[in-house]
């Protein structure tokens, strides 16, 4: 069983509310869920959809073909009716749309009229529609009713009861007006407890679970979800969340807070990151630990603000004037996003460097289900020098003291006794004061960059190989294409020796002593890089870092993520 539900309509019609509620209901029922959002950069109007795939086995990508289309406007019917399976359903309200459709797929449900009759308010049409979807699937109303109680807790008992009545009316209407539904109903999955989380929430929770206490950002899609998540937890966990006046301020604030001894993070998207680049170099030379989330959307400039692309990889890799170490992670799932954010904080603090969590709109706003996150895997080491650590030291504290590892003791201003902390964006000496002589410059570059790099490289894990252990066909992916490539490998593995090689710890590349992944690629007949950009940026990076050239590429740059069908079609051209 593997169903796809698409809720379509105009911005402002409540697609997220309906889609989000249904995703939650399916996951609480025990189905594995994958959602993805496709919406325009406008507050009202236009055409948007929210897609929920749910199944009794793990799902991690979207399909083109739809089982149930919930159309909230006429446009949705026109655009999506051909995507609906022959045996699928289109739920719509002919009275509101002022158009009647014939055919076995169409189920005409008077959402608005029921809302007015039962709830005395047309606003409740969405509740009727949500109930109708559940009726069609015969899934019961218990979870929805709980959600309605929670959602309208502040609005009083009467509103709650009316919504519940509307949900029930929609449910019953669908059940009694859907002759084919008996055969269609979703079988009850086995009882399992699943958590439902999207990429930005997972990054935010990863930050929280890493002791991040300061987050500064300027709102920008699709990074805003991290800001919203952390802001919603500020009171409970005692965080400081500051909405900066611009991204320049945001990154400088995060650096200021980190210098002062607090684990700090900032987040943005491509255009905002362009503004942050100066600050990134500041973190580099002052050796201030910093975690940055760069949530990609298609560019250049403003690009497609609400769409998705993996177009900033080489930009983030090369951003910043001068040479300094950095680490880039690109999670493939919300679960990876959670652990990699934690690892980002660990490495940022340990090596006093900027570390990136790079992702995109697709992963950022897609919800996935997981059995659990293993909190036992989280790392928390405090690398800051506090007062007790400096007690009895006779030697004067030097912020940039030369050490074998290049990592200098990181004291906290005002919290390390009388020791003074001097940080400088100018080239500086061990004490942090401005220098211009060549000897000190060389020593500082060696300390800051060359000594740390090999140590950092040792921390990077090898790519994940999924599928056949000695494959003939390898699909190489990074970041958010993880789910779709993995599902494709599952589909083809019956007939072929096929595998996915997925990179989530993008830069620096891992050492090949534990797993010689280029050797594996050399031994394959066909290696294809699958990327959500126009120039194959990851393949270029791979060639630079390993010398291995991937000659075949499947690239998608229409602002939309790969779906199972379109990756299959592209792959078939090679097979």
Partner 1 sequence: MPTSEDYEGQVPAWCPGCGNFQILSTIKQALVELDIEPWEVLVVSGIGQAGKLPHYIKCHTFNGLHGRTLPVATAAKLANNSLHVIAVAGDGDCYAEGGNHFLHAIRRNPNISLFVHNNQIYGLTKGQASPTTAKGTHTPAQPFGYLAHPFNPLSLAISQDCSFVARGFAGDQEHLKELMKAAITHRGFSLIDILQPCVTFNKVNTFKWYRERVYKLEDDHDPYNQIKAFEKALEWGDRIPNGIFYKSDKETLEEMMPTIHETPLVRKKFSLEDIKHEIEKFY
Q: Which residues in this chain contact partner 1 in the complex, by CB under 8 A?
A: 28, 193-197, 201, 205, 208-209, 211, 213-214, 216, 233-235, 237-240, 242, 244-246, 248-250, 252-257, 259-264, 278-279, 282, 286, 372-373, 375, 378, 380, 412-415, 417-426, 432-434
Least Å distance, CB 310 to partner 1, is 26
d(CA 122, CA 87): 30
Least Å distance, CB 52 to partner 1, is 16
Beta carbons of 258 and 287 less than 8 angstroms apart: no
How far are the Cα atoms of 219, 279, 349, 362, 366 from residue 223, in angstroms, in the given order?
7, 18, 23, 11, 13
Cβ closest to partner 1, residue 246 vs residue 519: 246
d(CA 357, CA 367): 18
- Strand intervals (E) in 271-361: 290-296, 327-329, 354-360
List, in sequence order, every residue forming a beta bridge with 500; answer none if it has no partner: 466, 475
Cβ closest to partner 1, residue 46 vs residue 417: 417
Cβ closest to partner 1, residue 250 vs residue 357: 250
String of DSSP letters for 42-108: SSSEEEEEEEEEEESS---S--SSEEEEEESSHHHHHHHGGGEEEEEEEEE-HHHHT----STTEEE
Cβ closest to partner 1, residue 342 vs residue 533: 342
Cβ closest to partner 1, residue 237 vs residue 574: 237
Cβ closest to partner 1, residue 324 vs residue 509: 324
Least Å distance, CB 249 to partner 1, is 4
Cβ closest to partner 1, residue 253 vs residue 542: 253
DSSP state of 435: -
Cα within 13 Å of Cα(276), Cβ side: 34
Least Å distance, CB 424 to partner 1, is 5
d(CA 136, CA 185): 7
Q: Nearest-CA neighbor of 556 among 294, 305, 221, 308?
A: 308
- Give residue 370's Cα distance to chain centre: 15
Least Å distance, CB 319 to partner 1, is 15
Number of CB atoms found within 10 A of residue 360's CB: 30
Least Å distance, CB 434 to partner 1, is 6
Least Å distance, CB 525 to partner 1, is 42
Least Å distance, CB 288 to partner 1, is 9
Cβ closest to partner 1, residue 106 vs residue 373: 373
Long-range contacts of 89-94 (CB under 8 A, 24+ apart): 89/136, 89/178, 89/180, 89/184, 91/129, 91/132, 91/133, 91/136, 91/174, 93/125
Cβ closest to partner 1, residue 400 vs residue 538: 400
Least Å distance, CB 28 to partner 1, is 8
Least Å distance, CB 113 to partner 1, is 36
Cβ closest to partner 1, residue 261 vs residue 364: 261
Buried/exposed 277-301: b ≥16 CB within 10 Å, e otherwise: bebbbbbbbbbbbbbbbbbbbbbee
d(CA 15, CA 27): 18
d(CA 88, CA 497): 34
């Amino acid at each position: 069983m593997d169903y796809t539900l698409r809720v379509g309509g105009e911005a402002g019609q409540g697609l997220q509310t309906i889609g989000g509620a249904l995703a939650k209901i399916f996951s609480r029922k025990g189905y594995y869920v994958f959602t993805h959002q496709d919406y325009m950069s406008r507050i009202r109007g236009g055409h948007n959809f929210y897609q929920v795939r749910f199944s009794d086995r793990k799902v991690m990508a979207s399909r083109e073909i739809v089982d149930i289309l919930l159309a909230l406007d006429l446009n949705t019917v026109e655009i999506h009716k051909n995507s609906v399976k022959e045996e699928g359903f289109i739920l719509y309200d002919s009275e509101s749309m002022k158009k009647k459709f014939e055919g076995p797929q169409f189920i005409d449900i008077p959402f608005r009229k029921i809302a007015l009759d039962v709830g005395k308010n047309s606003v409740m049409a969405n509740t009727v529609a949500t109930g109708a979807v559940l009726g069609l699937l015969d899934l019961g109303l218990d979870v929805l009713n709980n959600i309605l109680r929670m959602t309208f807790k502040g609005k009083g008992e009467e509103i709650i009861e009316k919504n519940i009545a509307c949900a029930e009316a929609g449910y019953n209407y669908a059940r009694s007006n859907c002759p084919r539904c008996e055969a269609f109903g979703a079988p009850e999955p086995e009882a399992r407890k699943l958590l439902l989380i999207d990429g930005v929430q997972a990054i935010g929770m990863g930050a929280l679970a890493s002791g991040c206490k300061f987050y500064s950002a300027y709102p920008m899609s699709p990074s805003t979800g991290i800001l919203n998540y952390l802001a919603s937890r500020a009171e409970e966990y005692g965080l400081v969340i500051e909405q900066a006046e611009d991204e320049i301020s945001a990154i400088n604030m995060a650096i200021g807070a980190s210098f002062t001894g607090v684990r700090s993070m900032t987040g943005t998207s491509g255009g905002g990151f362009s503004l942050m680049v100066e600050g990134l170099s500041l973190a580099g030379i002052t050796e201030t630990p910093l975690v940055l989330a760069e949530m990609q959307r298609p560019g250049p400039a403003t690009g497609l603000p609400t769409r998705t692309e993996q177009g900033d990889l080489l930009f983030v890799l090369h951003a910043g004037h001068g040479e300094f170490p950095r680490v880039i992670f690109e999670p493939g799932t919300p679960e990876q996003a959670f652990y990699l954010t934690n690892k980002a904080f660990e490495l940022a603090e340990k090596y006093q460097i900027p570390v990136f969590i790079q992702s995109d709109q697709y992963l950022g706003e897609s919800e996935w289900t997981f059995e659990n996150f293993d909190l036992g895997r989280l790392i928390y080491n405090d690398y800051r020098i506090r007062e007790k650590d400096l007690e009895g030291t006779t030697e004067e504290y030097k912020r940039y003291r030369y050490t074998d590892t290049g990592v200098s003791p990181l004291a906290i201003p005002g919290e390390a006794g009388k020791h003074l902390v001097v940080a400088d964006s100018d080239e500086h000496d061990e004490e942090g004061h401005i220098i211009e002589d060549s000897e000190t410059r060389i020593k500082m570059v060696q300390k800051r960059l060359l000594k740390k790099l090999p140590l950092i490289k040792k921390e990077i894990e090898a790519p994940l190989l999924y599928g056949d252990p000695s494959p003939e066909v390898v699909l190489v992916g990074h970041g958010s294409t993880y789910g779709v490539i993995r599902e494709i490998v599952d589909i083809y593995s019956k007939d072929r020796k096929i595998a996915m090689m997925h990179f989530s710890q993008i830069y620096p590349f891992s050492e090949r002593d534990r797993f010689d992944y280029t050797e594996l690629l050399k031994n394959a007949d066909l290696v294809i890089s699958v990327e959500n950009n126009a120039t194959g940026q990851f393949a270029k990076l791979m060639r630079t870092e390993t010398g291995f050239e991937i000659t075949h590429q499947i690239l998608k740059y229409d602002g939309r993520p790969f779906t199972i069908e379109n990756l299959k079609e592209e792959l078939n051209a090679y097979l």
